Chains A and B, each alone.
Chain A
């Protein structure tokens, strides 16, 4: 059975791109979220194997969302999506429980490598 993924990003472009990358690699994108709070809600509902999480989102940011999701499920696998120059934020996300990160702009191979690492 293929792994389920929840994609969290406020930009439809990024969601589409990530979705394409993951679907082409055989993942099952079960949900999308545009805000941090939506992400937490959908995680509770869908319990996906993997979450990709943008750092900067309206409403609730990605880091807080990671914190909430990790509280819900200490084994949650969250992959942060960051831009270059957001190192401090990524470190914070990791300390909040994120399991890995990829740097935008995305290269499919790097995204998939990170996903493989996270899913073990």
Chain B
């Protein structure tokens, strides 16, 4: 894997997680039984471990694993951490941070975490090793001649023992070091909590001493005390949070990316939505004034809002590879466990999608890919017998199509066994008895039914089955649509059509009676006035004849339970979902407008043809008609 590309992302996310770990560990220092904090550390460490595994950073993964083991034990025994654990974990976190930075800097080479892992294992094994004891208590100088000096090292100082040795070397250049605490042997092994004390007999003043000791590097603080009294270990502990903050923030290198809580972007997006609505109202209010200055100002506000909206939207856009790039591994694992050979191809990695959408689409795609491997693509022997290459081909494509992003999973497998599906559907009473043959649309409707797909022995279903309902409902909830194509012996292709972004869409407004409905423009092909020539009757149903094509004709009045009027002379909106088209009769068209989608809770079951609601420029609410549900 070309890891260099992801190293920056890995680093960025890992830093976030380290920040979270440090924050929680500081809470644990106050209360080692704080369950929530233990969980928070566990989660963050676990995340780092997972990412490091993918990146191939063994040292990071190993260290995170050992930290996780210690935490897992504290979680399971119900007693929380022991009092010495938070300090140990803080050390481990420092080592982890260092290992992360080092791994990214070197591509994972030559990072040694064995010492830290051994300490963690010593502890999670239940034995208190001497090294676990914070040595702060022993920062206790015997009385004697000379100045007492307390030195605190920067918390992420690598090899603190050696650093302490350097500090003492610098001190010896100033005069005679008469005492060191903890003793040098302990210091050199790193068995101290970053703070140590010594006594020097010197002519130098405290400023000179401080400056000299600082040349040893990684010295956070030097305190020179004339009187010979014990150093205050409590002060060091109290300063710890402060140090963590300083070392954590001041040392953070400049980044090209800033991570923003998605909720902040969401709330910006919501405000943007309100602004768009307000602009609509402003524009309507300005027209009757016919004041050129006011009109110009309103126009300027409108244009700025458009730019701002584009800016906010683009800040939410991320390339699909951020999710897609974990799929080759998924496919490989699935193929291997099923004894199949698969060439997996990803196309359109750089296509961008709203981050919220991308996050939601990840799991459904894993589902579809696994299904394709499991049920779509045959075993190498089966393929050979069918005259195909032994290795199946599985393609995941992302592409931009007008205001939509299309994500397609295609396999060259055996296709869905329609007869079997039909038999099954007939048994369940899904169709009238005697039905013969299934269209792709009908096939999708069958396999996307929850009850159907969770039925026993799904693996017997040739073709897709498991969880397609979940995928379809997820995609529809996002305002997208799903389309299925399956050819026996040649393969199956599932297409997900997603809006590029959530929340703000272009819509056509249609009226029946005094109600307004919004039709997302993604599905509107054209509009026309219904003429007598275009209106026909086929088998008792109204159809629309449009340039040699016969389209089913639906009535918005019927959909919303209003008495149906004579369709002639009404407006027709030609809807297009995938390759299917239909005409929708409405009373009147009110034009095109940008609308802000608000999801409506609970209404899905009651009126599944509405995907949401919006507030129009005049403050009147309107329901958003979900075109995909009409077909």
Residues of A within 8 A of B (CB): 82-88, 90-91, 94-95, 99-101, 103-107, 109, 113-114, 117, 120
Contacts and interface: CB of A to CB of B under 8 A. Distances in A.
Contact of B105 (A90, A95, A106): A106
A106 B538 CA distance: 78
A107 B189 contact: no
25 contacts: A84-B111, A84-B158, A86-B159, A87-B159, A87-B188, A87-B189, A87-B190, A88-B189, A91-B162, A91-B188, A94-B166, A95-B165, A95-B169, A99-B169, A101-B159, A101-B162, A101-B166, A103-B158, A103-B159, A105-B106, A105-B110, A106-B105, A107-B101, A109-B253, A117-B217
Nearest to B214: A117
B114 interface: yes
A84 B468 CA distance: 50
A44 B190 CA distance: 35
A91 B161 contact: yes
A84 B109 CA distance: 12
B162 A87 contact: yes
Q: How large is the interface on B (under 10, 10 to 19, 20 to 34, 35 or more residues)?
A: 20 to 34
Contacts of B110: 83, 104-105
Nearest to B59: A84
B102 interface: yes
Nearest to B114: A85
B165 A85 contact: no
B40 interface: no
B159 A120 contact: no
Contacts of B115: 84-85, 87
B112 interface: yes
Contacts of B190: 87
> Which 9 residue pairs spanning A and B have beta carbons closest together?
A105-B106, A90-B162, A84-B112, A103-B158, A85-B112, A91-B188, A94-B165, A91-B165, A105-B102
B216 interface: yes
B119 to A, nearest CB: 12
B158 A117 contact: no
A100 B216 contact: yes
Nearest to A14: B110
Given A87-B159, A88-B161, 15 more contacts: A82-B162, A83-B112, A84-B113, A85-B115, A87-B190, A88-B188, A90-B159, A90-B162, A90-B165, A91-B188, A95-B169, A104-B102, A114-B217, A117-B215, A117-B216
Contacts of B112: 83-85
B111 A82 contact: no
A82 B169 CA distance: 18
Interface string B156-181: 00110110011001000000000000
Interface string B69-87: 0000000000000000000
Contacts of B215: 117, 120
Given A87-B190, A94-B166, A107 B161 contact: no
A103 B105 CA distance: 13
B162 A94 contact: yes
Contacts of A90: 159, 162, 165
A84 B166 CA distance: 17
Contacts of B98: 84
Contact of B217 (A91, A104, A105, A113): A113
Contact of A82 (B101, B114, B159): B159
A47 to B, nearest CB: 22
A120 B215 CA distance: 8
Interface of B: 98, 101-102, 105-106, 109-115, 158-159, 161-162, 165-166, 169, 188-190, 215-217, 253
A82 B165 CA distance: 15
Contacts of A84: 98, 111-113, 115, 158-159
A117 B170 CA distance: 12
B536 to A, nearest CB: 76
Contacts of B161: 87-88, 91
A106 B104 CA distance: 11
A107 B110 CA distance: 13
Contacts of B114: 85
A94 B169 contact: yes
B174 to A, nearest CB: 15
Contacts of A91: 161-162, 165, 188
Nearest to A13: B109
A38 B217 CA distance: 29
A59 B159 CA distance: 26
A103 B112 CA distance: 10
**Most chain B CB within a 10 A radius of its CB, from A91, A103, A107:** A91
Most chain A CB within a 10 A radius of its CB, from B159, B188, B215: B159
A107 B159 contact: no
Nearest to A97: B169
B582 to A, nearest CB: 62
Contacts of B217: 100, 113-114, 117
A117 B113 CA distance: 26
A32 to B, nearest CB: 20
A44 B215 CA distance: 26
Nearest to B158: A103
A100 B159 CA distance: 12
Nearest to B108: A105
B421 to A, nearest CB: 57
B250 to A, nearest CB: 13
A21 B472 CA distance: 54
Contacts of B165: 90-91, 94-95
Contacts of B102: 104-105, 107
A5 B105 CA distance: 23
B255 to A, nearest CB: 14
A17 B215 CA distance: 25
Nearest to B251: A109
A84 B169 CA distance: 21
A77 to B, nearest CB: 11
B254 to A, nearest CB: 11
B222 to A, nearest CB: 15
Contacts of A104: 102, 110
A95 B114 CA distance: 25
Contacts of A82: 159, 162
